[in-house]
Amino acid sequence: MNADSTAPLPAEKTDFMVFPLALLRINKIMHFEIYLWNPKQQEHVLFCGKNLKFTDEVKDRLLDNGVSEIHVRDSEQHAFSHYVEDNLTAILDDPAVKPEQKADLLYLSLTGVIEDVMMDPRAGNVVPRSKRIVENTCKFIYEQRNALEFMMRVCSFDYYTYTHSVNVFVFAMALGARVFPKEEVMDDYGMGALLHDVGKSRIPDEILNCKGRLTDEQFVIMKKHPEYGFEILQEKDGISPLALDMVLHHHERIQGGGYPDNLSGDQICREVRCLTIADIFDALTTRRSYKEQMNSFHALKLMRDEMADHIDPDLFRIFVQLISDPGARK
Ligand SMILES: [Fe+2]
Ligand SMILES: [Fe+2]
């Protein structure tokens, strides 16, 4: 890398994401450009082009010049999130990266994984990529104090299929961490939560991104997504029966009347019940084109008062404690 190859950015409007310098790994190639902020000129300056290796020497020089942040163009988010995903274990283990920065980077790479999965759920790397990021999330949640608090703070409030999947995964992992022993189910359970809506990849965009409420006909199609998800994942190696159960049954209701199998009570396992709570909570607390976002307090109140037939009351009580005090450990 030529650290002197700085050039002012062309005048057109460009948005940037800001990240800690500490996340960059030594001797790893970066498939994105890095900019620095020049406070004197109030402008971004190109520091290094794509496909270059970050070295100890360059890092030291930046640190000597008081640089602690790098800027990456929004348009390169995909390449950047791949880089973070590929180096996630090392980044999460690095004490130089602050916990809140780790949560931010973890959320970014989770979103990148889900975007790719939704785009091409049949790709051969869906299971290994998902497994790796679930393991990294588990490790972060169990080893980092206040990890869930940091993760919940970075959850997006705007609803997109992929941010919904990531948010639900975060809430489900948070609840799961209080309910299940880590070794038993966290990996399979995490896979089920992360991929729970993968069947939406087969739902037409005009229904998925519908600006208003769905018509009855559209809703019939939308309700097929758990079965589609089951079909997609069933064909893959390395997906456990538990994860498949979670994908297929996350819209069942504790007192019956859900879909696709109209299960109730003990027919719905606890992992699925946890996922259902996380799924409903995220749907209520995110903003859609046809509805404002509800705050956590009102969402929990509505779930308690009007959706008691949907959800397990004991698990819901734990979820309420969790949302009220995400920093507390089980
Ligand atoms: Fe769903
Ligand atoms: Fe969902």
**CA distances from residue 104 to 19, 20, 99, 251, 283 in whole angstroms, order as listed:** 9, 11, 9, 29, 21
Q: How far is ligand 1, taken at its centre, from the CA of residue 251, in Å?
A: 6
Find where tokens 């307090």 sit: 297
Contact 110, 166 (CB under 8 A): yes
The confidence score (pLDDT) of residue 128 equals 96
Q: How far is ligand 2, taken at its centre, from the CA of residue 197, in Å?
A: 5
Contact 111, 118 (CB under 8 A): no
Q: How far is ligand 2, taken at its centre, from the CA of residue 155, in Å?
A: 15
Nearest to 49 by CA among 25, 26, 74, 76: 76
The confidence score (pLDDT) of residue 106 equals 96
The confidence score (pLDDT) of residue 265 equals 96
Contact 193, 173 (CB under 8 A): yes
Residuewise pLDDT in 10s, the chain (330 residues): 444 444 555 545 579 999 999 999 999 999 999 999 998 889 999 999 999 999 999 999 999 999 999 999 999 999 999 999 999 999 999 999 999 999 999 999 999 999 999 999 999 999 999 999 999 999 998 888 888 889 988 887 777 788 999 999 999 999 998 999 877 667 899 999 999 999 999 999 999 888 888 899 999 999 999 999 999 999 999 999 999 999 999 999 999 999 999 999 999 999 999 999 999 999 999 887 777 788 999 999 999 999 999 999 999 999 999 998 776 544
Q: How far is ligand 1, taken at its centre, from the CA of residue 180, in Å?
A: 22
Radius of gyration over every alpha carbon of the chain, rounded to an integer in angstroms: 21
Q: Judge if the upstream peptide bond of residue 260 is cis by omega within 30 degrees of 0.
A: yes
Q: How far is ligand 2, taken at its centre, from the CA of residue 164, in Å?
A: 7
Ligand 2 is a single-atom ion; what residues have CB below 5 A from it?
197, 279
Q: What predicted TM-score, i.e. pTM, was given to this entire model?
A: 0.90
Q: How far is ligand 2, taken at its centre, from the CA of residue 93, in Å?
A: 30
Contact 161, 279 (CB under 8 A): no
Q: For 291, left (φ over 0), alpha (ψ -120 to 50), or beta?
A: beta
Helix, strand, or coil here: 113? helix
CA–CA dist 206, 223 (Å, integer) = 15
Q: Which ligand is in closest contact with the Cα of 252?
A: 1
The confidence score (pLDDT) of residue 184 equals 66
Q: How far is ligand 2, taken at its centre, from the CA of residue 161, in Å?
A: 8
**CA distances from residue 202 to 110, 162, 189, 280 in whole angstroms, order as listed:** 21, 14, 23, 21
Greatest Cα pair distance, the chain, in angstroms, is: 66
Q: How far is ligand 2, taken at its centre, from the CA of residue 329, in Å?
A: 26
Q: What is the 3-state secondary structure (H, E, C) of 259-285?
A: CCCCCCHHHCCHHHHHHHHHHHHHHHH
Q: Compute the residue count for the chain.
A: 330
Handedness of CA 193, 194, 195, 199 (dihedral sign): positive
